[in-house]
Structure 1
């Protein structure tokens, strides 16, 4: 039980971060690894635990959902569910050493995207004089690839979604945030279904329960507070967390 409350707090933080701007995996995954779970098992447990929090956040945002570019909400969600399942299958099929080797580089990639995604979007928009307009097929293809990444690893996948939509469609981050949360829940849902039947995600019930309860509380509170938190402060906190986690993973590797 000494593990319960620290992991519960990590779940609250992870759920809130996912609801507000993304990056919950940067908190959830290291917390579970710190309490003795192997990286692959920790990844599966965090994915299962964060689903209810993401679903609660999506419910809070349900009236704010708008289509992404020329795609429908149904089509985008379907692609997210399928891609999340494919990514989870890859995590389970590939050797654990593959994830151990890839995790620091995936974290680094997500951190760089978090740091430069918004400035790059503004630069491209200024250079072209208009927002870039991706076709519906391009949006769905990009979403599928991100969903596969989300099912396999998940770190900052919501941030990557906003970066793609912002760069490719000129979609404002505030407008796209409700859809980001909904698609995050879709990616996690299919991954969770596979993890529950084909992984050892249930082998650590205390850690799973603590993370799950915390993520629900954080997801609910974070979605309600999202419009009140200064965007600059949020981005700074996410970036600091991402950088520190990436450095720690490279040192561990």
Structure 2
């Protein structure tokens, strides 16, 4: 057991070292969510005046969306890094090691969850500076847990695509997948105010539940189990599917 934990730790630290070794690669995940936040507030800030809007502060309403967006970009970068390792032959040597496949996968995913806290921290500083409401200690902790979990989901998604295409050229698919998953939700308006196909998609999109779980502390000022458990179920369901696909891809790559 200690050997497996050491393997997870080593792979996680290797992923974290990418930020130090190639700092430029972290810039998109740092800047993009902040730019999106400022842009959304500028363009859609007056939506709070609509009857039925669930918040009078659009910064607080949209901040959780950008937190997940940053986590998604960070997680997708894990897939890009794996694709590079596949191209360079390093991943084949990793598969030849005695470490079980789930342990190798856990190490890569863990690094994404930790790295996601960096863009989230930058985003929170900017958001609080322009007037976002403080969600309280519990609300903030719940939000950070879901951000880390979503980064893990995005990492698993990126790993699935990296194992399928085995090239860094698949990077746009990795990023687009997480971007659309977050945006086709209640990203800029409550579900009750959405119409047409967007409302239908947001209703069935499990990421909507994750966003609402992150958002509750910023909008309501408190955390409720009624909004938290659907997010947990969504994360667990998506995680089970993506991890299974990733392990299947690793098994095929090792043949």
TM-score of the two chains, using structure 2 as the length reference: 0.35
Whose Rg is larger?
2
TM-score of the two chains, using structure 1 as the length reference: 0.35
